[in-house]
Amino acid sequence: MPYSYITFPQAVSVLAQRLQDPTQTYWNQPNELLNCLYESVRYFQALTGSYKQKISFSTQLQVSYYHLPRLSTAMSYNVTDIEVANNVLAALLEPPLPATGAWVGTGQFTFTQLQSALQNRLNRFLGDTGCRTVQQLIAGPPPPVELVTLPDGVIDVRRAAWVLLPSGFTWAELQQAWQSANFPWNTQVAAAYPLGRLDEWAQQAYIPGGVQQPSQPLSYSVFGTAPLQLRLVPPPGNEGNGVDCLFVQAGPTVNLSAVSPVLLEIPDDLSPAVKWGTLADLLGSDGPSRDYQRAEYCESRYQEFVVLASIYPSLLTADINNITCGTGSVFDMDFYMPDWQQTLGSPSFVGMAGRNLACIGTLPDSGPASNGYGVGLWLCANAPVSTTGYLQVSRDQIDPVLDYAQHIASFKMGGVEFNGTVRLQQNMIDAAKHQNDRLSAVAFYRDRLQQSAQRGQMEVARM
C-alpha cells in the first residue's frame, strides 16, 4: 500500500509558502517548484535506495540480455533534455524553452552554449560513472587481422566474447538473429566464448607466440590500441565470426526541441547530475554569466552524484519460475559458468552488467510449454514522481524533502540568501543517513543484496 499523506500539488503549495511566494510570482516558470520537489524526491532515493519494486517478465528463446528500463516503468528512463534544460534556465533566471520557435534569453547565455554544456555533461557523466551498459554484436575481422573496429560512440569496453557462426548461417543472418526471439533458431546455438581482458605486456609474457598462430581468440586488449579498436589475442583463424561486446556508450544527441524531447537514458534519480554539471560549465565561463562561487558549488554537486552512481543499487533478489536463483555480475557468470552463452537449457542465474542490463544464464531454451521462463526481479526502482500523485516518503521524511526542495529553489537568488539555505541541504543528508541506518539495521546482509550492480566494477575495474 503506497503512502497517501501529501500530494505533489499540496507539497508545492507548502514549498511556495516556505519561500514567501504563495502566488509563485518569483518562482514563476511552469512547474518550477514541482520540478524542485521531483529533484528532492529523486535525490533522497539516490541517497537511500528506499523505494523498491518487483518486475516480472518471461525469457525468450536464446535471448540472454534483458534491458531493464525497456521492461518496466520501475527503471525506465523518463528524464528528457527539455526537463533538465528548463531546470537549468530556471536556476539562472532565464526564460524557459518555447514550445515552438527559437529560444531568446537575456544575453548572458546563448542557445548553442546551453546545448553544448548539457551534451558535454551528459557524456561526461556516462564516462565518469558507466551507469548505462549497452550490448552490441560486431563483425569479427578477416583472418589473421587482430584488430576490431568499434562504433564511434564507445566510451569504455566492459566485456567481449567471441561468437562462432553456427553451421549454415551467414554473417548477415547472425546479425539479424543475435538476441532476437523471432528468428527460427531451432536447436542452433551461436555460441559465445568469454574473452579475458589483458594488456600487451601480459600478451608478450604469457602468450609470446600467439600473434603468429591464428586460432580462436582467448583474450582481448584495449590498452595498446588506437582509439576505437580492440585487439584479439590470438588473431582469429576463421572468418565470418563476431564479437559480442558490452560497452559504456555516449549519450544520445540532445536538441533542446520541445517538439521532440530526447530521453537522456540515464537513471532518473541520478539525472540531477547533468543539471548541476551544466550549471557549473555555464557559470564557470568568462563573460557576464561568470559566477565562480556558484560554479564551484555546482561542480561539487555533480561530483557528489558521480559518487552516488558508483554505489547506487538495482537488483536485490531474483527468482526464475518462482524459485530463488543466484545473482551476481556477468563476470561471475564468465568465471564460474563460462559456457553460459554456449548451451541451451534452463537458466539458473541472473548476472548484472552495470545497473540496467541483466544477463540470464544459461542460454534460455523455449521453456515449459514453449512459453519461456518467468523471471521476477526485486529492484531499487525509480522514485515515483507525478503531477498529481503522492510523495512516496514516510511522514518523518517529508520535512527534509521540502527542506532540500527549498534549498535548490533558492539557488536562483544567489548570495547570502542562497548560502543561508545550506543547512536545509544538510537536513536532507542527515535524514538520508538515518534512513540508511534503519535499512541496515533490518537487513543483516544489505551490502550483499545491493552488490549485484556494483560487482562488475569491483571484479573488472573501470577506474
pLDDT at 178: 61
Considering the domain boundaries, does residue 206 fall inside one? Answer: yes
The full length of the chain comes to: 463
* 153 and 168 part of one domain: yes
The last residue of a domain, from among 269, 289, 313? 313
CA 457, CA 463: separation in Å to the nearest integer?
Answer: 8
- Rounded to 5°, the CA angle 231-237-238 comes to 110
Write the DSSP assignment of 64-120 as a string of letters: -EEEHHHH-TTS----BHHHHHHHHHHHTT-PPPPSSS-----SSS-HHHHHHHHHH
* Cβ–Cβ < 8 Å for 233, 198: yes
Q: Within a 13 Å sphere around the CA of 54, how many CA atoms are in the beta-carbon half? A: 8
* 264 and 369 part of one domain: no
Among residues 198, 196, 195, 138, which one has the least CA distance to residue 161?
195
Q: What is the pTM of this model?
A: 0.94
Considering the domain boundaries, does residue 291 fall inside one? Answer: yes
Quote the crossing angle between the two packed helices 395-409 and 8-18, to the nearest 10°. 60
Quote the crossing angle between the two packed helices 272-283 and 81-91, to the nearest 10°. 50
DSSP state of 5: S
CA 450, CA 315: separation in Å to the nearest integer?
Answer: 7
- When divided into structural domains, the chain yields a total of 4
pLDDT at 348: 94
**What's the grid cell of residue 145?**
587481422
* 303 and 392 part of one domain: no
SS (H, E, C) 360-415: EECEECCCHHHCCCEEEEEEECCCCCCCCCECCCCHHHHHHHHHHHHHHHHHHHCH
* 302 and 221 part of one domain: no
* 173 and 29 part of one domain: no
* 327 and 420 part of one domain: no
* 367 and 285 part of one domain: no
Considering the domain boundaries, does residue 165 fall inside one? Answer: yes
Q: Which domain holds residue 360?
A: 320-380
Helices (H) and strands (E) in the chain, counts: 15, 18
* 335 and 426 part of one domain: no
pLDDT at 176: 66
Amino acid symbol at 249: Q
* Cβ–Cβ < 8 Å for 60, 181: yes
pLDDT tens track for 173-222: 766 666 554 544 445 567 889 999 999 999 888 888 767 788 899 999 99
Write the DSSP assignment of 172-222 as a string of letters: HHHHHHTT-TTS--TT----EEEPEE--HHHHHHH-TTGGGS-BS--EEES
CA 399, CA 385: separation in Å to the nearest integer?
Answer: 17
The last residue of a domain, from among 380, 399, 430? 380
pLDDT tens track for 109-147: 999 999 999 999 999 999 999 999 999 989 889 889 999
pLDDT at 185: 47
DSSP state of 208: T
* 245 and 138 part of one domain: yes
**Chain-centre distance for alpha carbon 267:** 5
* 175 and 226 part of one domain: yes
Considering the domain boundaries, does residue 68 fall inside one? Answer: no
Amino acid symbol at 46: A
**What's the grid cell of residue 337?**
559458468
Write the DSSP assignment of 297-349 as a string of letters: HHHHHHHHHHHHHHH---EEEEEETTEE-EEEEHHHHHHH-TTTTT-EE---E
Residues of the chain with pLDDT under 70: 1, 174-189, 210
pLDDT at 288: 83
Strand partners, 54: 378
Considering the domain boundaries, does residue 63 fall inside one? Answer: no
Considering the domain boundaries, does residue 138 fall inside one? Answer: yes
Amino acid symbol at 245: C
Considering the domain boundaries, does residue 66 fall inside one? Answer: no
The contacts of residue 152 (CB under 8 Å, 6+ apart) are 228
* 223 and 309 part of one domain: no
The last residue of a domain, from among 380, 410, 431? 380
Pairing of the two strands 196-197 and 219-221: parallel
pLDDT at 382: 96
pLDDT at 240: 72
Considering the domain boundaries, does residue 118 fall inside one? Answer: yes
pLDDT at 114: 96
* 223 and 264 part of one domain: no
Q: Within a 13 Å sphere around the CA of 26, how many CA atoms are in the beta-carbon half? A: 15
Strand partners, 194: 161
